[in-house]
């Protein structure tokens, strides 16, 4: 158990059986009253961001989370438009499969955890997976990833005093806006 005054951004704790990570910490002391600690936290299971208020002297259970680098293998998510059906013997629905490159241990992670990051997963890409009690909680993509531009229109020179963007479709089907100098390929 740790005192709430020891919480800082990035620290993880458990309350009512739910794991949280602190995003923002604020300590306020009133004139003659007790101090209040306001923390902005993210639930590591659901991803929901909440604001919690504690009284000075309250205690929470600190948890230890482990971040492991895993290699993305494939997915079999029937509901994901970005998941290519695999011809593998595994037939779990709505799961993404990862492997630890050191131990070759495989992990199945639900599409609910992957959520909006699915379009950016590429086979054999290394991602950071956050574990708590040997259960995967979230994934973190690398800060930079390269994708091929499958389709984009020609860049038309015109008013170049401002930033001009054109629509483009990436190899994973994602539609984004790119600068004029980006071409197909």
pLDDT tens by residue, 105-137? 988 888 777 777 888 888 888 999 888 888 888
Q: Which residues belong to CATH 2.30.30.30 in the chain?
A: 2-62
Q: Which residues belong to CATH 2.40.50.140 in the chain?
A: 66-140
d(CA 58, CA 68): 32
Superfamily of domain 66-140: Nucleic acid-binding proteins (2.40.50.140)
- Is the pLDDT assigned to residue 51 strictly greater than 90? yes
- Is the pLDDT assigned to residue 88 strictly greater than 50? no
- Is the pLDDT assigned to residue 146 strictly greater than 70? yes
The tokens describing 173, both together, are 């089907």
Question: What does the pLDDT read at residue 159?
Answer: 55
Tell me the average pLDDT of the chain: 82
Question: What does the pLDDT read at residue 122?
Answer: 83
Q: What does the pLDDT average to over 18-47?
A: 86
E strands along the chain, which residues?
2-3, 12-15, 18-29, 35-43, 49-55, 59-62, 66-76, 95-99, 106-110, 126-132, 135-140, 149-152, 165-170, 175-179
Question: What does the pLDDT read at residue 169?
Answer: 92
- The 3-state DSSP class for residue 82 equals coil
Domain 2-62 in CATH 2.30.30.30: yes
CA distances from 178 to 124, 158, 165, 171 (A): 26, 16, 5, 14
| Mean pLDDT comparison of 89-93, 157-161, 167-171, highest-scoring range | 167-171
Band (161; pLDDT cuts 50, 70, 90): low
With contact defined as beta carbons under 8 Å apart, do 54 and 41 qualify? Answer: no
Give residue-wise pLDDT tens across range 89-103.
344 557 889 999 999
Give percent of the chain above pLDDT 70.
87
With contact defined as beta carbons under 8 Å apart, do 140 and 68 qualify? Answer: no
């Amino acid at each position: 158990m740790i005192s709430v005054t020891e919480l800082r951004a990035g620290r993880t704790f458990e309350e009512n059986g739910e794991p949280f990570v602190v995003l923002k910490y604020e300590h306020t002391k009133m004139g003659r009253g007790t101090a209040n600690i306001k923390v902005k936290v993210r639930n590591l299971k659901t991803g929901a961001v909440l604001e919690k208020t504690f009284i000075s002297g309250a205690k929470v259970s600190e948890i230890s989370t482990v971040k492991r680098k895993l290699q993305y293998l494939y997915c079999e998510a029937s509901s994901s438009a970005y998941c290519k059906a695999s011809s593998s013997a595994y037939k779990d629905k709505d799961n993404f499969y990862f492997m630890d490159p050191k131990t070759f241990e495989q992990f199945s992670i639900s599409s609910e955890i992957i959520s909006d990051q699915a379009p950016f997963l590429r086979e054999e890409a290394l991602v950071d997976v956050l574990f708590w009690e040997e259960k995967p909680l979230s994934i973190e993509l690398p800060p930079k990833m390269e994708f091929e531009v499958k389709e984009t229109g020609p860049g038309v020179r015109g008013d170049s005093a401002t930033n001009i963007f054109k629509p483009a479709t990436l190899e994973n089907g994602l539609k984004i806006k790119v600068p004029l100098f980006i071409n197909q390929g």
